[in-house]
Amino acid sequence: MSSEKYTSISPAEFFKRNPELAGFSNPARALYQTVRELVENALDATDVHGILPSIKVLIELSNPEKQVYKVNVEDNGIGIPPHIVPNAFGRVLYSSKYVLRQTRGMYGLGVKAAVLYSQMYQDKPVEVYTSPINSKRIYYFKLKIDVTKNEPVVIERYSVSNDKGWHGTSVTLYLVADWQRAKSRVYEYIKKTYVVAPYSEITFRDPDGNVVYYERITDKLPKPPEEVKPHPYGVDIELIKYLINQLKKPVPVREFLINEFQSIGDITADKILELANITKTKKVNNLTDEEISRLVEVMKKFEDFRPPSAEALSVIGEDIIELSLKKIFNPEFAAAITRKPKAYQGHPFIVEAGIAYGGAIPPSPEPVVLRYANKIPLVYDEKSDVIWKVVSEEIDWKRYGIEEDQPPLVIMVHLCSTKVPYKSAGKESIADVEEIEKEIKLAVMDVARELKIYISEKKKEEEAKKRLITYLKYIPEVSRSLAIFMVNNKEKLNEAQNSLREKLLELVLKRLEIEDKQLLEEIKNYKVEEV
Ligand SMILES: Nc1ncnc2c1ncn2[C@@H]1O[C@H](COP(=O)(O)OP(=O)(O)OP(=O)(O)O)[C@@H](O)[C@H]1O
What residue type is assigned to position 498 of the chain? N
| pTM given for the model | 0.85
Cα end-to-end distance, the chain, whole Å: 100
Domains defined along the chain, listed by start: 11-214 (3.30.565.10), 232-301 (1.10.8.50), 310-451 (3.30.230.10), 455-530 (no CATH)
Lowest mean pLDDT among 24-28, 151-155, 343-347: 343-347
Specify burial of residue 7 (Cβ count, 10 A radius: 0-12, 13-18, 19+): exposed
DSSP labels for 221-259? PPPPP---PPPGGG--HHHHHHHHHH-SS--BHHHHHHH
Q: Ligand 1 site: residues with CB under 6 angstroms?
A: 37, 41-42, 45, 75, 77-78, 80, 88, 95-97, 105-112, 169
C-alpha 431/C-alpha 389 separation (Å) is 10
pLDDT value at residue 481: 86
CA of 364 to the centre of ligand 1 (A): 38
| Among protein residues, the one whose CA lies closest to atom 21 of ligand 1 | 105
- Sign, Cα dihedral of 81, 84, 90, 96: negative
Helix pair 237-246, 289-301: axis angle to 10 deg:
110
Q: Which residues are annotated as a binding site for ATP?
A: 41, 75, 96-97, 105-112, 427
pLDDT value at residue 524: 61
CA of 237 to the centre of ligand 1 (A): 28
| Among protein residues, the one whose CA lies closest to atom 9 of ligand 1 | 41
Q: CA–CA distance from 179 to each of 60, 65, 109, 183, 210 (Å)?
A: 9, 14, 23, 5, 13
Percent of the chain at pLDDT above 90?
Answer: 76
- Of the CA atoms within 13 Å of residue 524, those in its CB half-sphere come to 14
C-alpha 119/C-alpha 179 separation (Å) is 18
CA of 383 to the centre of ligand 1 (A): 28
C-alpha 467/C-alpha 456 separation (Å) is 17
Q: Which of 40, 111, 227 to mutate to test the pocket of ligand 1 (most atoms within 8 A of CB)?
A: 111
Q: Which of 48, 56, 76, 95 to mutate to test the pocket of ligand 1 (most atoms within 8 A of CB)?
A: 95
- For the CA of 113, the closest atom of ligand 1 is 18
What's the mean pLDDT in 344-359? 94
**pLDDT tens, residue by residue, 509-521:** 777 666 666 666 6
pLDDT at 91 over 70: yes
CA of 186 to the centre of ligand 1 (A): 20
Closest-CA residue to 335 (of 351, 357, 350, 302): 357
Backbone φ and ψ of 458, nearest 5°: -65, -40
Lowest mean pLDDT among 14-18, 82-86, 266-270, 509-513: 509-513
pLDDT value at residue 202: 98
**pLDDT tens, residue by residue, 435-459:** 999 999 999 999 999 999 999 998 8
Confidence category of residue 39, pLDDT binned at 50, 70, 90: very high
